[in-house]
Structure 1
């Protein structure tokens, strides 16, 4: 490797893409193409970066497997940054194996972290934790240690383990400062600020207030009966009753919880559960059937009793009933939460992260665009969707991941 390529590589490692381009911008040999691709990725031109790295991988060919594998890892990182979550994981795994076989442990570890970050984004936290457990960050340079801690913090926040998340973010900020890369430092500090912004809303006794993530954790560990509108479950201590597949029953449970200790009229329950303006006898009959089903499911933690004007929730052991709601109530709140990370998403990536069909994701995006909450650029497969980050709250609870005990 000649002196210009070496100097460009050092500039990239220090977070100076313009300095790297000044040295190799006019060269078309394989190492220069790879460095130019990484520089363009750091500058935000991901389309040009992908093209340069593909050219570099072809130029390296089979005679330089390590350099080719590094190009594959760089392409995977660009795919992750552009939220192309359907990129071939097998190619990244093959590149990692090649790097490990040739003693390039740092880049092999980087490949593992990319795979873990993808697993976190699509909500596969158990798989992400197993992959992360195989990595020891101690021998890695500061930049990679910061990446490790950011992944640890991301999993902890989605698990609602606030202390672990706070400790990991503090270590990430320290490692990022040691690395001296401004973009990495900004990412770590931005993630730290998420813990100091509201993550949910508490609805109780006709009032509501925002909750930080540590307050959410304390609420879930309390003896209150919690109707969780973020996960569509009802929980009390270790008992967790999922109503995610029973939307009508969850609407009824939430209505009863919001009114507790008072009751809710039959007309109000019909309007909320069935969206009927006027309740006739068929609606009332259906309401009795659905409340019977809800009563059966909630029997371990609460009863549903009839009153003169309607129905009331009666907790068996809890002294308080509360509703845990999203920071913002919106039909497509989960899609908004993913878009709010500031990155550009494809509809296929959103569908994968949401666990929905691509057509459902596209309908949600079209609705958000019509409401002015999302916008797209590009055409065809290159079309991407973005929205400005929502100010004033963190989106952690809106992401698809299980709560403790799920």
Structure 2
């Protein structure tokens, strides 16, 4: 490696992007192409950065497997930042294996860190945790250690482990200060502020109150019977009954919770669950069937009894029934929750992260765009979506149904 390449690499490591480009901007050899790609990524020109890194990967010879693997890792990082979640992860796995085989433990750890970040984005929390457990953060540079701590914090927030999240954010702040990168320090500070923002609404006895993530954690650990409209489940004292795949049953239990301790009429239940205008015999028969299914699912925590007017919810041990709802009443709050990170997302990446069909996400984006809440960037297959303004007053974690396991 010649002196200019070494100097450019040191400049990039120190955050001096223009200093690195001044040294390699006119060169087209493989190392220079790779460094130029990383520099363009730092400047935000992600499309140009990916093109340069691919060119660098092709320029490195077959005997330079280590350098080619590093280019793959750099391209994977750009794909993650640009929210190209469909980028082939097998390439990253192969690159990570190559790096480990050649003793490049630092870059292998960085590749694992990128895998964990992607798992976190798409809600695969167990896979993210397994990947993090295999990593040694001491092998990472200070900036990468700060990002690693942010992933740990994000995972803890999704699981509502707030003490773990706050400790990880303190580690991230310390590493970011040590790295001396202002943008990274600002990112950590923003993350620390986000976890103190209102995360949900608690509705009980006709009153509504905004809750922080710490208060949500305490509520879900309490003896209260919680109808979780954020993640479509019923919870009590650490026991969870998922209903995300049973929208009719969740609509019924939510209607029963709204009228507790009284009963909900058959007309109300039919309207909420089936969108029927009148509770005729056909709807009444269907209601009895669905109520039987709901009764079976809720048996560990509550009973569902028939009354003269309709049906009523009877928790076994809880003294109160609480509805935990998103802080925003927006119909497509889950889409906004992902876009609020300030990155540009494709509809396919949003669909992958939310576990929904791409057409469903496209319809939501069209509705939000008509309301002026999001805007498209680019055309056709390169189109991405961003928020038109910061969505105030809530964190994202409780608006993502796929982000929390039911157990």
Flag whether TM exceeds 0.5 (same fold).
yes
**What's the counterpart of residue 393 of structure 1?**
394
How many residues are treated as equivalent by the alignment? 406
**What's the counterpart of residue 328 of structure 2?**
328
**What's the counterpart of residue 55 of structure 2?**
55
**What's the counterpart of residue 65 of structure 1?**
65
**What's the counterpart of residue 26 of structure 2?**
26
CA distance in 2, matches of 1:187, 1:402: 21
> Retained in 1: the 8 A contact 2:125–2:404?
no
**What's the counterpart of residue 256 of structure 2?**
256
C-alpha distance after superposition, 1:226-269 (max 9, x if no partner): 11112211122243222222212211211221222233333332
Residue 99 of structure 1 pairs with residue 99 of structure 2 = yes
Structure 1 residues 367 and 361, CA, compared in 2 at 3 Å: closer, same or farther? same
> Retained in 2: the 8 A contact 1:15–1:182?
no
> Retained in 1: the 8 A contact 2:220–2:238?
no
Alignment of 1:118-133 (within 5 A): 118-133=118-133
* Offset, 1:285: 4.1
CA distance in 1, matches of 2:105, 2:192: 28
CA distance in 1, matches of 2:103, 2:347: 38
* Offset, 1:111: 0.8
> Retained in 2: the 8 A contact 1:145–1:172?
yes
CA distance in 2, matches of 1:176, 1:332: 34
* Offset, 1:37: 1.1
Alignment of 1:305-344 (within 5 A): 305-344=305-344
SS at match of 1:391: coil
SS at match of 1:138: helix
> Retained in 2: the 8 A contact 1:159–1:401?
no
Bigger drift between 80-89 and 102-111 goes to 102-111
* Offset, 1:118: 0.7
Structure 1 residues 70 and 372, CA, compared in 2 at 3 Å: closer, same or farther? same
Q: Unmatched 5+ residue regions in structure 2?
A: none
Residue 117 of structure 1 pairs with residue 113 of structure 2 = no
* Offset, 1:364: 2.8
Tell me the C-alpha RMSD between the 2 structures: 2.0
* Offset, 1:307: 4.2
SS at match of 1:196: coil
CA distance in 1, matches of 2:245, 2:6: 57
SS at match of 1:300: coil
How does the TM-score come out when normalised to structure 1? 0.93
* Offset, 1:292: 3.4
Alignment of 1:357-372 (within 5 A): 357-372=357-372
**What's the counterpart of residue 149 of structure 1?**
149
CA distance in 1, matches of 2:6, 2:401: 43
Structure 1 residues 58 and 298, CA, compared in 2 at 3 Å: closer, same or farther? same
Bigger drift between 13-22 and 37-46 goes to 13-22
> Retained in 2: the 8 A contact 1:80–1:118?
yes
How does the TM-score come out when normalised to structure 2? 0.93
**What's the counterpart of residue 162 of structure 1?**
162
SS at match of 1:231: coil
Bigger drift between 162-171 and 133-142 goes to 133-142
Q: Unmatched 5+ residue regions in structure 1?
A: none
CA distance in 1, matches of 2:350, 2:130: 24
> Retained in 2: the 8 A contact 1:205–1:259?
no
